[in-house]
Structure 1
Amino acid sequence: MRKPVLLFFMMMWGAITCAQTTPALKNYVSLVDATRENKPIEKLYIQTDKPYYITGDTIRLKAYLLHADYLTLSSRSVIMYVELDDQEGKPAKRMMLPVESGLAWGDIALDEKDIPSGSYTLRAYTNWMRNFGEDYIFKKDIYVSPSAGNATLVKANFKQEGNKVETALQFTTLDGKPLLVKDMELKVMDGRKNLSKDQLSTGMDGTIKVNFDLPQTINPITIQAKDVTKGITDATTLTIPVTINRIENTDVQFMPEGGNLVAGIKTKVGFKAIAEDGKGTNITGKILNSKQQEVATFKTIHAGMGSFEFTPQLNETYTAKVNGITKSYPLPIVNPTGTTLRVEQNLNSDSLTITIITNQILNNTTYNLIGQSRGVVCFAQTISFSNNTTQVLKAARPAFPTGIARFTVINSNHQPINERQVFINWNDQLNISIETNQPTYSIRDSIALAIQVKDKDGKPVQGSFSLAVTDDSQVKTDSLSSNILNNLLLTSDLKGNIENPNHYFINPSQKQTELDNLMLTQGWVGY
């Protein structure tokens, strides 16, 4: 499968280089390609059989080790390391797995002595991956709950008014049955400090109402709950994080498209608002200049992200005023001179529109624009601002595979000065169908499955796949969470945590603006 893909890229690149590049640019592209081939990056994805576990369970996993450029199975590394780290980052278990043709399998026994209930991080890597930094190491959050007989789920909804916090805690079993009339010992904790202690009983719906004063602290506030009902001897202490999103503690960051605000050039600005719990939050507001005049308004669209446009002026400073928050947020400084980079994608067009603008007179000055996907150069063109300050280019979308396309403007000293990332989706994922040999089964029946895998054109596909069979009453899968598709194509190449990453792959044509805001913010690079 790799050779046809490689040929496709080379054919597209050959057509571009013959018509629109200089010898210096060809040499630069050759250097980029040589670096990628000499220091290839590996990507690793771990597929587990369940999203969460109970003590005594076994994590069954399959690993896919891939070349980052063409996402083909890697044969570079023959050993991979898998760790299960506790909340302090210490390995509770560590194992080495042999890798054969990019594939590996393994089991992690969750015995209660070594792996008590709590939150863990599954980390996996090869020695070669460690050369490229922590960002390339695979990580996945794993929660291990107490054994099924004692496992308890807690639903909490916190409300704050002033320094008063109130919540209703609902305690249920794993299958959703409320814990009726249970005596619960509750402790409100400021880090390790005990703020209050009380004993309350659950109602007929398993709910307890709790009120307490919120202290002035930077420590995490938690509630520890333990069933102390008479006759209960093996109850586990549950730790419930108190998630209070005080609006005045909202963090808002602004990221100009292409990296910089330049005086006199209209620019799109992406922004992201993050609440105290680390998740995106909805905000509205306006942009003010130094004279407190409104120059733009903004509003989040999804997951605390949005974008707006305005034209920054020379010797001006700008701040954002968020509705409901007294403090102001500064925007990046306005550069007196420079270049801006804008990339626009129309799903009904086969071309990307790339606009590069400068506010300087650049006679006999050339720049290079490089477009890459997974480190492979798919587009390159030399730019000259001889007679004007604006260059509008077209890049063929079919030259880029599904995934993140990164465009970089490079000056004559081979220094990057602007960068913009966009996501291209050809909806070319595999179509998998599973059929059983009969509609219903009895206990201990054998189940025969017919599994068929086809590509987007309906042609059968041969490959290596993972399959897990779980009980729907005990294991609930999240259709918006991370999976092999959104991890390899999207989240592994972006900074920070991506909330509900599969949201962008469900009806993707309707999520184009939301996805572009994600690229503007968590794909932002400034020079």
Structure 2
Amino acid sequence: MLKGLIIALISLLSIKSFSQSTQISTSYIDSKINQYKLSNPSTPLYLHTDKNIYTNNESIWFSAYLVNADTTFKNHDVLNLAIADENSNQVILSEKFQMLNAVSSGSLDLPDSIPPGNYNLIATTNIVDKDNKPTSQFITKIVIKTITQQDFTSSVVLIDSAIFNGYLRAKLIINTKQSDAKLKPLVEYKIGNSVTSKLMEVNKELLINIKETDLNAHQPVLKIKVKFNNQIQFLNVKLPAIQQKKINVRFFPEGGNLVADLPNSIAWEAQTNESIPISIKGILFRNDIAIDTIETNSYGVGKFNLKPELSSKYYLKVLSGTYLKADTNYFLPAALNVGFALHLPKGVVNDTLRLSMVSKENKPVQILINNNKGAYAFFKYEVTTQTKTIKLPLYSLPKGIWTLTILDDGKPIAERLFFGRYNSGVKAKIAVDSKIYKRKDSVAVKVNLTDSLGKPVIGLFSIAAIQQNRLTSNCVDIENYIYLNNELGSLPQEPSGNGLHNPDYVEDMLLTKGWRKYTWQDVLNADTTKKFKPLIVSGKVKYGNKPLKAAIQLAILGGDKISFIVTESDGSFTVSRENLLASDGKKLTIIVSGKNNAGYTIEINDPHLLLNSNIAKNLASTGFGSIRNATNSIDNQLKGLENAYNLQDVIIKAKNSSGSIYAFKGEPGTNDCGDFVDEAGHFNYEKATKRYKPKPNTWYVIRTDLSAKGDWFTVKPYYFTTCTELKKSVTTIGGIYAERVFYGVNNNPGEIQYLSTLLWKAGVKTNAEGEAIINFKTGDIADNFKIIVQGISSEDVFSGTTSFSVK
């Protein structure tokens, strides 16, 4: 319902709109916004992770929150997580977790085999639209480094800064202490879609010639993969684009348009052609006469005032320099002859919004305050040729970004975003019982939640205590994400890291990134045919590779309980969420019930996997600005005391009469399905010269050659149970996992524990006094640590931090 404003001279009367038969009224506004909400549900998803720099043997601990969830939030009962390589956009890890009452938590284990580099952590729920796009999605960057001792180092640097004879040259150097001359690194490098592989000598240089035509991409990058002695390293080098360096300038008249002979407020933005904000100065001209000097700040935004003349042309001249080879002019949009000017002295306000309007003629208008969650006020007003200021009370306005829309007979003629009730909401105060601790010390953390009046608030939150060097500077907390990024999209980083808590920064983002962000036309033209559906795991059973003629029963093993499902007569079936619930990380097995299940095959279709893949392949490499002109593999190694190695000598002795270390020799030949192992325990390795029948319920390894000669390769464990042909009637699928307990530092005083995450706890609830106390122990890393709290309440989202040191 619309919340009427108690303002003198405001009349909530029906106002004539698009035709003689259509009346704009409060009920009409309500109905249109409700339709818009149904077709564009606003249920933002936020993921709190313990840190965002990991090693390739750690766990990612997380909590997920569906914020502002409506009454349909119970339909969001699965959280889908995926990790995608930022270079290849390929998903390398994917798992599903329970979501109850709009909250989920758990952990993802990073395998040792994951290469260091930049990754996207993708979170979605199981609700999608008719185009199979998620209604709730969150993507954040994580960095994975290695603590594995490497046998070699690799580095690459650009030799040339410009094209010479049609080429640009880069130099790759690989250094190793290995003395075996037979070991040669295999180098694979890629620019765009062009891939080249070469063997090179160690401790020597490889010259890479990059064609000029390979530099036509918007953001060209040389991607290098080096394989040596069963180890892999990745290097990325930023390449100079053939495109001439330039500056992109945009102008944002407040309200939408410049109007001649009226005072206009204008924001402007400057970015490089790589979309990096820059601070520049320029000279403002009217018909080749300089009238002002203006500049942008560190995140590329500036503001100025102008009263344009109808017959004059206005442009900004930026002088040549780092980004421009020549002086460049950027023209302002032409001024309209009719219209009116809208101005908010402050767009970030608390309880009162002040706006001034002036027109070239007296004109009745309608003023609407709304956002994608609903409408707050709708009233009519007379705009005159004299500037008038209106004060609008916002006492009952929910905190957040709202749109002020000016309508002329129902047609929007100006819009301006503002942030209302800025200082309201929940405040999180975090205190520790000391600022300095010893190793293996006890720490007590007190979290206190209050509202803007100092009254206690009951909230639900997750808390982490992590080593500060495991956090990058671009971490976005739940408040910044929900109130800014979710509403305005990707934003330049605020220099001090305050973001939402810097009102000047918020104002600049509203004027530029939020310029005409929402339009009343979108509300009026909402697609009421949009339908939403849950993702459902399905499958099909065949016999002899043909459809079934009668239904059969399947058993699902490994979950919280043994469950059974019956297929349709053609063999198709679906698997409910309840049947997929399993212990954390445990795979489920689906089998054809009965003793005689030979000849059946089971195919599984998990739409969550396809969703992850589609999202990942459409992601741009937004971390491009951090890629340098030279890079070294050492950059991918974790530095600091936490990089501790506990190495010991391992001696393996053959104990069987055959002398085989692995004792995999058995009866010569293959089993009934053709399965075999070789002397080294490689299962079904096609190049094996001697083959033996595998033993049921035995661990073997799958070998994958990385060179044509097979002189180096990778292996992964494989548990052999029965004939692989018979196993076609058995399939595995990832379950839906519940929360796993984080144990932290244990109480064994003699055990050295290098933990960068000392504390992770999800689902913590404050008491009636708004307080919660959490205890944990420090480990054996002497460094600076940070405590981070992220959470939700019935009133607001909240976050807070504090720090301490371990000596």
Instruction: Report the TM-score when normalising by structure 2.
Output: 0.51
- Amino acid across the alignment from 2:503: Q
Q: Which residue in 2 is equivalent to 1:107?
A: 107
* Separation in 2, partners of 1:20, 1:408: 17
The alpha-carbon deviation at position 306 of structure 1 amounts to: 0.9
Structure 1: 5+ residue stretches without partners = 1-8, 170-183, 202-209
> Equivalent of 1:394, from 380, 384, 391?
391
CA contact (8 A) 1:130 1:137 kept: no
Measure the CA separation in 1 of the matches of 2:225 and 2:91.
Answer: 27
Distance 1:303 1:110, change over 3 A: same
CA apart distance, 1:368: 1.5
SS of 1:470 mapped into structure 2: strand
CA 1:97 to 1:294, structure 2 compared with 1: closer, same or farther past 3 Å? same
Aligned to 2:493: 500
Q: Report what 2:262 is aligned to.
A: 265
- Mapped partners of 1:263, 1:152: distance in 2: 67
Structure 2: segments with no counterpart, 5+ residues: 16-24, 173-184, 520-807
Cα shift readout 1:182-202 (whole Å, capped 9, x = no counterpart): xx999997546699x99999x
For the Cα contact (< 8 Å) 1:379–1:399, is it kept in 2?
Answer: no
Larger helix proportion of the pair? 1
CA contact (8 A) 1:406 1:421 kept: yes
CA distance, structure 2, for counterparts of residue 57 and residue 245 of structure 1: 41
The 5 Å alignment of 1:210-249 reads 217-219=215-217, 220-222=219-221, 234=231, 236-242=233-239, 248-249=245-246
Helix, strand or coil for the counterpart of 2:491?
Answer: coil
Greater CA drift, 343-352 or 420-429? 343-352
User: 1:460, 1:418 → 2: CA distance?
Assistant: 41
User: Could you give the per-residue CA deviations for residues 381-415 of structure 1, whole angstroms, max 9, x where no partner exists?
Assistant: 21234x64655322224343432222111221x33
SS at match of 1:398: coil
2:373 is aligned, of 372, 375, 389, to 375
**Does the CA contact (< 8 Å) of 1:371 and 1:377 recur in 2?**
yes
Deviation at 1:487, TM superposition (A): 0.4
Q: Deviations over 1:83-128 (max 9, x none)?
A: 3233344433333332211101132222255x44333222223354
Distance (Å, rounded) in 1 between the aligned partners of 2:406 and 2:36: 19
Aligned positions of 1:84-103 closer than 5 A: 84-87=83-86, 88-103=88-103
Q: Distance in 2 between matches of 1:504 and 1:405?
A: 24
d(CA) in 2 for partners of 1:68 and 1:315?
51
The match for 1:320 is 316
SS state at 1:20 partner: coil
Match of 2:117 in 1: 118
Matches within 5 A, 1:127-146: 127-128=126-127, 130=129, 137-146=137-146
Report the Cα distance in structure 2 between the residues aligned to 1:451 and 1:118, rounded to whole angstroms. Answer: 35
Give CA deviations for 1:331-369 in whole Å, capped at 9, x if unaligned.
22322322332222288985322123333x45xx53211
Alpha carbons of structure 1 residues 388 and 270: separation in structure 2 relative to 1, 3 Å? closer
In the alignment, which residue of structure 2 is the partner of 1:334?
A: 335
SS at match of 1:468: strand
1:153–1:319 Cα change, 3 Å = farther
In 2: Cα distance, 1:523 partner to 1:251 partner: 18
1:341–1:418 CA contact under 8 A, matched in 2: yes
Change (3 A) 1:442 1:314: closer
Bigger CA radius of gyration: 2
The DSSP-based 3-state class of the residue aligned with 2:35 is helix
Superposed, 1:162-177 pairs within 5 Å as: none
CA distance in 2, matches of 1:502, 1:356: 34
Are residues 157 and 487 of structure 1, via their aligned partners in 2, closer, same or farther at CA, if it must alter by over 3 Å? farther
Indicate the residue corresponding to 1:466 in structure 2. Answer: 462
Q: Tell me the SS of whatever aligns to 1:516.
A: helix
Distance 1:450 1:121, change over 3 A: same
SS in 2 for 1:262: coil
SS in 2 for 1:344: coil
Distance in 1 (CA, whole Å) between partners of 2:293 and 2:83 is 46
Q: Tell me, yes or no, if the aligned pair for 2:285 and 2:291 is still in contact at 8 Å.
A: yes
The corresponding residue for 1:357 is 358
Task: Please state if 1:15 is matched with 2:6.
Answer: yes
1:261 match: secondary structure: coil
CA distance in 1 between counterparts of 2:496 and 2:62 reads 24
CA–CA distance in 1 between the matches of 2:48 and 2:189?
37
Conserved 8 A contact 2:129-2:135: no
How many angstroms apart in 2 are the aligned matches of 1:377 and 1:218? 47
Task: State the 1:521 CA deviation.
Answer: 0.6
Asked if the contact 2:77/2:98 (under 8 Å) is kept, the reply is yes
Measure the CA separation in 2 of the matches of 1:338 and 1:67: 37
- With over 3 angstroms needed to count, the CA separation of the structure-2 counterparts of 1:384 and 1:450, relative to structure 1, is closer
Q: Classify 1:466/1:238 alpha carbon distance in 2 versus 1 (closer, same or farther; 3 Å).
A: same
Counterpart of 2:378, as a letter, is A
Secondary structure in 1 matching 2:479: helix
The 1:100/1:468 distance shift into structure 2, 3 A limit, reads: same
Q: Is the 8 A contact 1:160 1:244 kept in 2?
A: no
How far the C-alpha of 1:130 sits from its partner, in A, is 4.4
Tell me how many residue pairs correspond in the alignment. 484
Shift of 1:304: 0.8
Q: Which secondary structure state, in structure 1, belongs to the residue aligned with residue 486 of structure 2?
A: helix
d(CA) in 1 for partners of 2:504, 2:159: 32
Of 501, 504, 521, the residue aligned with 1:513 is 504
Structure 1 residues 147 and 284: CA distance shift in structure 2, 3 A: same
Q: Deviations over 1:290-319 (max 9, x none)?
A: x32234432002301111111222244433
Q: Kindly state the Cα deviation for residue 154 of structure 1 after the two structures are TM-superposed.
A: 11
With 137-146 and 82-91 compared, the bigger mean Cα shift is at: 82-91
State the percentage of identical aligned residues.
Answer: 20
Q: CA deviation at 1:272?
A: 1.2
Q: 1:151 to 1:366 in 2, by over 3 A?
A: farther
Match of 2:267, SS state, is: strand
- The amino acid of 1:318's aligned partner reads Y
Distance 1:487 1:438 in 2: 29
Residue of structure 2 equivalent to 1:172: none
What secondary structure, in the 3-state scheme, does the structure 2 residue paired with 1:426 have? Answer: coil
Q: What residue is the counterpart of 2:249 in the other structure?
A: 252
Alignment-mate amino acid for residue 13 of structure 1: G
Which letter does structure 2 place at the counterpart of 1:313? Answer: E
Q: Could you tell me how far apart the structure 1 residues matched to 2:389 and 2:32 are? A: 25
The one-character-per-residue Cα deviations of 1:267-294 (angstroms, maximum 9, x if unpaired) are 11111111244221111112334x3223
1:488 to 460, 476, 482: 482
Alpha-carbon distance change, 450 to 311 in structure 1, aligned in 2, over 3 angstroms: closer
The whole-number CA distance in structure 2 between the counterparts of 1:52 and 1:352 is 42
SS in 2 for 1:467: strand
CA distance 1:86–1:237, change in 2 (3 Å): closer
Residue in 2 aligned with 1:523? 514
* Higher relative contact order, chain-length normalized (CA < 8 Å, sep 6+): 2
Q: Which residue of 2 aligns with 1:83?
A: 82
Specify whether residues 251 and 394 from structure 1 end up closer, same or farther in structure 2 by C-alpha distance, changes over 3 A only. Answer: same
Shift of 1:51: 1.2
Matched, 1:35 2:30: no
How far the C-alpha of 1:137 sits from its partner, in A, is: 2.6
Contact kept, 8 Å, 1:421 with 1:523, in 2: the verdict is: yes
SS of 1:493's partner is: helix
Structure 1 contact 422–519 (Cα < 8 Å) conserved: yes
Q: What residue in structure 2 maps to residue 275 of structure 1? A: 272
- Report the counterpart of residue 476 of structure 1 in structure 2: 471
Q: Return the match for 1:293 from 286, 289, 297.
A: 289
Correspondent of 2:298 among 266, 289, 302: 302
> Aligned equivalents of 1:225 and 1:485: distance in 2?
38
Question: In structure 2, what is the Cα distance between the partners aligned to 1:251 and 1:199?
Answer: 45
